Amino acid sequence: MIAIIKYNGGNVSSVQNALNRFGAESIITDDFELIKNADKVIFPGVGEASSTMKILKEKGLDQLIPTLKQPVLGICLGMQLMCKNNEEGNTVGMGIFDLSVKKFPAKDIVPHMGWNTISGFNSTIYSGIKEESDVYFVHSFYCELSEDTSSICDYILPFSASLQKDNFYAMQFHPEKSGEIGSRLLQNFLKL
């Protein structure tokens, strides 16, 4: 069973629909016991950082998520909120990744939206995926590069397209909208 964290954030249904295509059983929930006992947990997100973090705190999910022991996947805003802080709304995150999330400088079109290339794979989640693969992004804020960076994208500047630390995986792009590559990544996550 895969628990998809429910917190009034966008994109939850599209993640569940992607899992349904693989025949993976999932539930959208904010129930602590269901989340703690799930085989895998997905923390998707589309929205604004400070208001989303407020909801997570009200539900106590900000305390639960960092304690999870099974594989956890953060997507887009989910990835950003797993970091220590975010310039959007001066938001304090969960600190799973010791990284700051910053706004792209206005040297090109922001948000970074559409297909872009990722490379520099440094995680088993990329098993069977060719370097220089294209995935789908929609974001105005980015995670810095760090020792937890598991893939890199370059838009205005190089940034962490994905992260991994212990049982925590995170993707700035949307695997559920990234065609065959995204499907393979989700399937790789399910096999962890």
- How do residues 24-40 score in pLDDT, each as one tens digit? 999 999 999 999 999 99
- How do residues 109-158 score in pLDDT, each as one tens digit? 999 999 999 999 999 999 999 999 999 999 999 999 999 999 999 999 99
Which distant-in-sequence residues (6+ apart) come within 8 Å of 46 by Cβ? 9, 10, 11, 76, 77, 138
Residues classed as catalytic = 76, 174, 176
- How do residues 59-95 score in pLDDT, each as one tens digit? 999 999 999 999 999 999 999 999 999 999 999 999 9
Beta bridge partners of 162: 151, 171
Whole-prediction pTM: 0.96
Q: Decide: helix, strand or coil at residue 135.
A: strand
